Structure 1
Amino acid sequence: MTPDRIRVQWQSHDDRFAPVRGDRFAAVLFGEGSWLEGPAYSPAWRTVLCSDIPNDRVLSFDEASGAVGVWRSPGGYANGRTVDRAGRMLQCEHGSRSVTRTEPDGTVTVLADRWEGKRFNSPNDLVEHSDGSVWFTDPTYGIQSDYEGFAADPEIGGNHVYRRDPDGTVTRVAADLAQPNGLAFSADERTLYVTDTERAHLRRFDVGPDGALTGGEVLATCDAGAWDGVRVDTAGRIWGAAHDGLHVLDPDGTLLGRLLLPEVCSNLTFGGPKRNVLYVTATHLLLSVRTTATGLR
């Protein structure tokens, strides 16, 4: 039987981590997934959605009632997702190898499924820019076997980062990553952070006025497995999912501290009315932890 809560540990590595504090116990909202991913918080619905990828379903946690249900099944072997500025749910789907948007009436719009006429590998995670463009990563995890999608040969011949503009144009913006995974903008959107899971790297790119990326230096290397999902808080700190929990980094790449968890962590989002509740997917668990940090939207 899954416990209602589990003990967690906040571990400091730098004095700059002192303002970050949080619950000593994480609430276990759901504990029966196979590999949970892609948490996203909708303030309008007061709901967290997350993916149970191998079981091909999207789960929903109702913040008001505490109930967990199935939002969509089959779920397209969905992985990462985010809520756009209009309140619509954007998600990456391994099954259709596409990025989709769920409209308020429940209909699904395909935003992107090809680049230069070739199908994507398996879009993994995404983030929306304030100009309405959608940026996403495209590793091969969803086509390597039938576990998280459908086994298939890649058509593009590389694992890249893309930008989908509001007019539907899809542009490759980064092509030198092994397996790009999580991504997040800084508050001013002049920096894009991208995790390269295969190399255990967190990369930092400069975002130009035209949406082009330059730079791309390795900001940090994960010392506990590899990076997965990543988010940024209002103080500029970078929160990265790793095998031992969440690592919190300064924008200069210094490891400030960790939130140690008992399961391999895949992703996170900030939610709640004040965006100070961490919703974390960690293997078969969906957890919530209240913290003094506040996440960007």
Structure 2
Amino acid sequence: MTATRRLISPRRWAPPPAPADRGRTRVTGRFVVDRRIATGGHGPEDVIFDERGGLLTGLGDGSVVRIDPATGARTVLGNTGGRPLGLEPSADGGVLVCDHDRGLLRMSADGSVEVLVDTVEDRPLTFASNVVEGPGGTVWFTVSTRRWDLEHHLGDFLEHSCTGLLVRRDRDGAVTVLRDDLKFANGLVLAPDASHLLVAETSGYRVSRYRLTGPNAGGMEPFVDNLPGLPDNMSLGRDGLVWVSLVAPRNALLDRLLPLPGFLRLLVWNLPEAIRPEATPIAWVMAFDLDGRLVHDLRADDGSYAFVTSVAEHDGTLVAGSVRQDDIVVLAHTPSAG
């Protein structure tokens, strides 16, 4: 998956019209950077809090670090030997890691790394994206795409491959694919009562709910549909809200091309990289209650930060990370809606 000109196989899709709000009518506050926290590296793609209020993130050099958000003190927990993306503190004191190159891993407190899943249905696992753990040791994780890698992920957006996976790993190691048709599966949240999962489908502009219990177990339904931006990583805050990072606004050209014959997207894909459509640099996070109602919509386009790929809240402290930045940022406050 390293060739920049790998052929795409476009699939037609008619996205819903983008919400009329393309400006600031729904914004409930500004994305205001209060301070920056150095990570010691580049690309804190996913940022989460552990139970003690420490920050965990993975960096482009493969390291997984814990940072004290108050002092900035940094501890390197270990190195995956790949590219860590989504993280989840594990009940055993370690950290579950979705590594783009190596699959689903567990990093122990001593820094050693155990590979939990590196093949799915007899195919090498690449682009594992995000992970959550249930109270009984069951683990669920997403795979963004079976056809593209992180460097060339735009190919999946133009192709609209719908090859994202939602996968369950049982405590005994059994692996089950729950869904294999997701639109660039990304962020993942387990409901507090473990009744359902919330899955960000980045190229579907939506967050979907996958039922784990009840009469509709195994079914999927919209949680938040037709978002004005591209949802990335998500987290459940101590405030009871589902925080969603939006890496960029929807691209009007892509929305126009998706329903049309695929050769038009082939033309775009074959343009020199320097003149391909580029995502608008904006810093953007949203928060929803567990019924899918919007509570916060925080944006900034002043260049202070951009391309937010993760957001997390802990006892009133709101932080964000980005695969394109070096630092994690702490937001000044969490404004109320209205």
> Do the two structures share a fold, i.e. TM-score over 0.5?
yes
Residues 51-130 of structure 1 aligned to structure 2 (within 5 Å): 51-53=58-60, 55-63=61-69, 65-68=71-74, 70-73=76-79, 75-96=81-102, 98-130=103-135
State TM-score, norm by structure 1. 0.75
- Conserved in 2, the CA contact under 8 Å of 1:101 and 1:108? yes
- Conserved in 2, the CA contact under 8 Å of 1:94 and 1:142? no
Change in 2 beyond 3 A, CA 1:218/1:23: closer
- Conserved in 2, the CA contact under 8 Å of 1:58 and 1:75? no
- Conserved in 2, the CA contact under 8 Å of 1:12 and 1:256? no
Residues 269-284 of structure 1 aligned to structure 2 (within 5 Å): 269-271=312-314, 275-282=315-322, 283-284=324-325
Higher relative contact order (CA 8 A, sep 6+): 2
Which residue is equivalent to 2:206? 201
- Conserved in 2, the CA contact under 8 Å of 1:196 and 1:202? yes
- Runs (4+) of structure 1 moved beyond 6 Å? none
Using the TM superposition, give the Cα deviation of residue 79 of structure 1 relative to its aligned residue in structure 2, in angstroms. Answer: 0.5
Using the TM superposition, give the Cα deviation of residue 189 of structure 1 relative to its aligned residue in structure 2, in angstroms. Answer: 1.5
Partner Cα distance (2:136, 2:193) in 1:
12
Using the TM superposition, give the Cα deviation of residue 22 of structure 1 relative to its aligned residue in structure 2, in angstroms. Answer: 11
Change in 2 beyond 3 A, CA 1:133/1:73: closer
Residues 33-52 of structure 1 aligned to structure 2 (within 5 Å): 34-43=42-51, 47-52=54-59
Using the TM superposition, give the Cα deviation of residue 132 of structure 1 relative to its aligned residue in structure 2, in angstroms. Answer: 1.0
Change in 2 beyond 3 A, CA 1:24/1:79: closer
Task: Find the partner of 1:229 among 229, 233, 236.
Answer: 233
Q: Counterpart of 2:181 in structure 1: which amino acid?
A: D
Q: Counterpart of 2:212 in structure 1: which amino acid?
A: V
Using the TM superposition, give the Cα deviation of residue 134 of structure 1 relative to its aligned residue in structure 2, in angstroms. Answer: 0.8
Which residue is equivalent to 2:224? 219
Using the TM superposition, give the Cα deviation of residue 41 of structure 1 relative to its aligned residue in structure 2, in angstroms. Answer: 2.6
Which residue is equivalent to 2:297? 258
Using the TM superposition, give the Cα deviation of residue 231 of structure 1 relative to its aligned residue in structure 2, in angstroms. Answer: 1.6
Residues 139-218 of structure 1 aligned to structure 2 (within 5 Å): 139-140=144-145, 143-144=148-149, 158-208=163-213, 212-217=217-222
Using the TM superposition, give the Cα deviation of residue 248 of structure 1 relative to its aligned residue in structure 2, in angstroms. Answer: 1.3
- Conserved in 2, the CA contact under 8 Å of 1:62 and 1:68? yes
Q: Counterpart of 2:330 in structure 1: which amino acid?
A: S
Q: Counterpart of 1:228 in structure 2: which amino acid?
A: D
Change in 2 beyond 3 A, CA 1:128/1:31: closer
Percent identity of the aligned residues?
Answer: 23
Which residue is equivalent to 2:329? 287
Helix, strand or coil for the counterpart of 2:203? coil
Which residue is equivalent to 1:268? 311
- Conserved in 1, the CA contact under 8 Å of 2:45 and 2:85? yes
- Mark the structure with the bigger radius of gyration: 2
Gaps of 5+ in 1: 1-10, 149-156
Q: Counterpart of 2:82 in structure 1: which amino acid?
A: G
Change in 2 beyond 3 A, CA 1:62/1:199: same
CA deviations over 1:262-295 (Å, ceiling 9, x no partner): 3111012334xxx4322310330311237579xx
Tell me which protein shows more helix as a share of its residues. 2
Which residue is equivalent to 2:8? none
Which residue is equivalent to 1:131? 136
Name the count of aligned residue pairs: 263
Using the TM superposition, give the Cα deviation of residue 145 of structure 1 relative to its aligned residue in structure 2, in angstroms. Answer: 5.9
Using the TM superposition, give the Cα deviation of residue 64 of structure 1 relative to its aligned residue in structure 2, in angstroms. Answer: 5.7
CA deviations over 1:167-190 (Å, ceiling 9, x no partner): 101111122212100010221121
Helix, strand or coil for the counterpart of 1:135? strand
Whether 1:30 aligns to 2:25 is no
State TM-score, norm by structure 2. 0.67
- Conserved in 2, the CA contact under 8 Å of 1:136 and 1:162? yes
Using the TM superposition, give the Cα deviation of residue 246 of structure 1 relative to its aligned residue in structure 2, in angstroms. Answer: 0.9
Change in 2 beyond 3 A, CA 1:113/1:265: same
Which residue is equivalent to 1:7? none
Helix, strand or coil for the counterpart of 1:175? strand
